[in-house]
Structures are given as C-alpha cells and as structure tokens.
Amino acid sequence: MTTPETVLPDSLTVSPVPLDAAPAPAEAPEPAARWEVRRSDHPRSPEHRASLLRELRFGTEFTDHLAHAVWTPEEGWHDLRVEAYGPITLDPGSAVLHYAQEIFEGLKAYRHVDGSIWAFRPEANARRFAQSARRLALPLLPEEDFLGSLEALVRIDRDWVPGGEGTSLYLRPFMFASERFLGVRPARFVDYMVIASPVGPYFTHGFTPVSIWVAEDFHRAGPGGTGAAKCGGNYAASLLPQQIAYEHDCAQVCFLDAATGTLVEELGGMNVFVVASDGSVSTPELTGTILEGVTRASIIQLLADQGREVAERSITLAEIKDGIASGAITEVFACGTAAVITPIGRLKGEGFDLEVADGAPGETTRVLHKTLTDIQYGHAPDPHGWLRRLA
Ligand SMILES: *Cc1c(COP(=O)(O)O)cnc(C)c1O
C-alpha cells in the first residue's frame, strides 16, 4: 500500500528552501500545457464583467473559471483542468470538514500598461505551498503544476484582470482532504484548486494607518505547531482575537509568542516591521511560529538594495511600547500580499494605547510601498527578476 508520505519531499523536513532563493529554471517551456481547458458555457457578458470590475472590493467576486486537479496515492496528481467556476460537491464525511487538513496560498496578478499580465514571485508561493503541504501531511504539488495552474487560469480569464490603480487579480490556490473518512490519518483523496478574484485595496481606506490590538490571552501558533505553514486552521484560531480587536476599534490583531508571551510575532495574516529614529529596521526573526511572507522577504531585499540591513531578531512588546512612547521607534508597518504595506498608526492592548509618531505614515513605509508597487505594476525596472509573465 502506497501511503501519501511516500510522495512528500524529504528535503523539506531537513532544510526548507528559503523563499528568496533564486527561482528554479522552468523545466517545461509551457507549464500551462498540462492543464486541459474546458470552457464555461455560461461566462458573464462583457457588460456584466465591466460592471463588476467598476466596484472592486476584496474577495467578493470571482472569475468565470477555476483550475482543479485531484490526487490519490495510486495515480498521483491527475485530471488537471481549467473549468467553469461553480459550487463543488463535497461528501459530509470529507476529512477537511472535520480535521481541517487544508492549506492555501495567496498571490496577485497585475495588469501592465501594455496589457500583459504578471505574477509577483509565484515560484516563492509554489515553494511555500510545498512546505505547507509537508506540515499538513498533504501531497506535494510539483512547482511547474502550481505555476501552470496559474498561467492556464489567468490566460482564459485574462479579461477579469482589472487595470486601475491599486487593483489586481488575487489568486487563491488551495488544497484539501476530500476523502470520506472519519478516521484520523492523512487523506487518500485530495483536491487542488485555484480560484481568482478581481480586487481593489484590502483595507477600504487605502494607504492610511490602521490601529492594531495586541492579543495577550490568545496565540496563533506555538513551538512545533503549524505557525509557519499557510493553513486555514491558523486563521480559524485567529478569528476570536480578531473579533476582540474589532471591539477595541482595531483593524487587526498582533500576536505574541506562546512560549513567553513577551515577543511580538506577527498579525493574523501579515508580518511586522519596526523602524527606529536612527533609520535602522527590524523584523521578528523566523522561529518556526511565524509565517515567512513573500512580501517580508521582498522588503528585506529592497532595503538591502538601499544599503539598509534589516535586523531579523527577537523584538519584545516592551521594547516597542517604550520605543513608541519615547520616540525611539518612528514607524511600524505590516506587510502581506493582500494589503501590500500598511502603516500602523496606533498600538493598543490591555492597559495601553499608543500613537506611533504623529499617526501619519512614515517616510520609510511610504518609499517601500511605492518601490514595491512600482515593480509589481511595471512602473519601475525589476532588478531581481521577481515578475513572471502569465499572459
Ligand atoms: C500569508 C501570510 C502572511 C503574508 O505572506 P505574503 O507572502 O507576504 O502574502 C503573513 N502572515 C501570515 C500568518 C500569513 O498567512
């Protein structure tokens, strides 16, 4: 009997490939060719699509198609296809509904002025997806199939990629245990899908500072847990503290490490950076309980390009509170694919409420936001070869 484990990449158990390692050379010239296209017989009309693209929000509308493949231990990945977007049939006994054996990714496709469409560092997402799969005992999806699914879907739905300022097509690859079985073991039927959503800015107020609530009673990840994997379960655990943050008029939660409760780790879905008055920049080091963001890695590289070394180190909540109060810390920002770079204007928690500098976005935050988005939208050169053409 072949078990799912036999297809998992052993190397990932020892030393995960750093997300910012040089991209592997594409093996097949056309990764999309492995995906059979079955066109929808009910695509939205151009007028309907145009009306949806005029009023973009985050993650509420989806394109006409999705990519889908299935896996069994006997056959591996098979039936790779792009087909009409629509509801799926899932047996009530499917393992994912009971034990949350699920992982996902999030990345964006950007329309450039010449009409071409580009993804930002999708190879890094492919590698992280493999690392998440390993942690959740799901099968490995080869990098070229991950990339091919994005290309095949974006090519057929290219008219859904919006062209306005701050807009993009958000791509959501995900994998889940679809086997009908209530025993606890890795599933032997697994589905992989990609859905795509035309999006505007994640935070409705755009590039304006947000308030953050520091959760001291709840943690999103612990040592040896799934914090470094991108899995739905981590998000489920963050929802109650997120709700408490809303009750304190905060947009997001900041989590502390579970072991000591003193170190700042990250937000529910974004990494954090701190800028000091002497210009030095720090971000929490990757300890296994923090998700390694592609945006985080890119910001570290962009600052290095300017000769500014980012200190990846442990940062205590006390240091940040004291620094904001004394003025030694002048900027705090969060980063992730969905919201790109978001200034943090206020840090609140049980017994404290601190405004960062004068609450306005700082210079380092603004320059990084512009540098990164200019590369993504093709307004500036791409010195590190981060963009990959999809269509
Ligand atoms: C996805 C995610 C991030 C940001 O990662 P990016 O690759 O930059 O989008 C940060 N933290 C968590 C918990 C995440 O799930």
pLDDT at 15: 41
295 Cβ closer than 6 Å to some ligand 1 atom: yes
Mean pLDDT, rounded, for 110-135? 98
Mean pLDDT of all residues belonging to the chain:
92
CA distance 36 to 82: 6
Q: With H, G, I as helix, E, B as strand and everything else as coil, classify residue 226.
A: coil
Mean pLDDT, rounded, for 333-342? 95
Residue nearest to atom 1 of ligand 1 (CA): 269
Outline where the chain has alpha helix (H): 11-14, 46-54, 95-99, 122-135, 143-156, 232-247, 294-305, 317-326, 363-376
Per-residue model confidence as pLDDT tens digits over 159-181? 999 998 899 999 999 999 999 99
pLDDT confidence of 374, banded at 50, 70, 90? very high
Residue nearest to atom 5 of ligand 1 (CA): 293
Q: What is the SS3 string spanning 39-70?
A: CCCCCCCHHHHHHHHHCCCCCCCCCCEEEEEE
Which residue type does 81 have?
A: R
Domain 4-200 has CATH 3.60.150.10: no
215 Cβ closer than 6 Å to some ligand 1 atom: no
Mean pLDDT, rounded, for 84-102? 97
Mean pLDDT, rounded, for 88-106? 98
Q: Please report, for the chain, the start and end positions of each structural domain, with discontinuous segments joined by +.
A: 4-200, 210-376
Q: How many residues does the chain have?
A: 391
Report CA(249)–ligand 1 centroid distance (Å): 23
Q: Is the per-residue pLDDT at 73 higher than 80?
A: yes
Do 5 and 186 touch, CB atoms closer than 8 A? yes
Residues with Cβ < 8 Å from 212, sequence gap 6 or more? Answer: 245, 250, 251, 252, 253, 254, 267, 334, 344, 346, 347, 348
Report CA(269)–ligand 1 centroid distance (Å): 5
Please give the number of the atom of ligand 1 that sits closest to the Cα of 125. 7
Please give the number of the atom of ligand 1 that sits closest to the Cα of 106. 9
Do 77 and 69 touch, CB atoms closer than 8 A? yes
Same topology, domains 4-200 and 210-376? Answer is: no
**% of the chain residues with pLDDT over 70:** 91
Mean pLDDT, rounded, for 292-312? 97
pLDDT confidence of 30, banded at 50, 70, 90? confident
pLDDT at 19: 62
Domain 210-376 has CATH 3.20.10.10: yes
291 Cβ closer than 6 Å to some ligand 1 atom: yes
pLDDT at 11: 37
Please give the number of the atom of ligand 1 that sits closest to the Cα of 238. 13
Q: Is the per-residue pLDDT at 4 higher than 50?
A: no
Q: With H, G, I as helix, E, B as strand and everything else as coil, classify residue 363.
A: helix
Mean pLDDT, rounded, for 341-347? 96
pLDDT at 21: 58
Q: Is the per-residue pLDDT at 1 higher than 60?
A: no
Please give the number of the atom of ligand 1 that sits closest to the Cα of 128. 7
* Token pair belonging to 345: 């204007």
Mean pLDDT, rounded, for 204-210? 78
pLDDT confidence of 207, banded at 50, 70, 90? confident
The dihedrals phi and psi of 305, each to the nearest 5 degrees, come to -60, -30
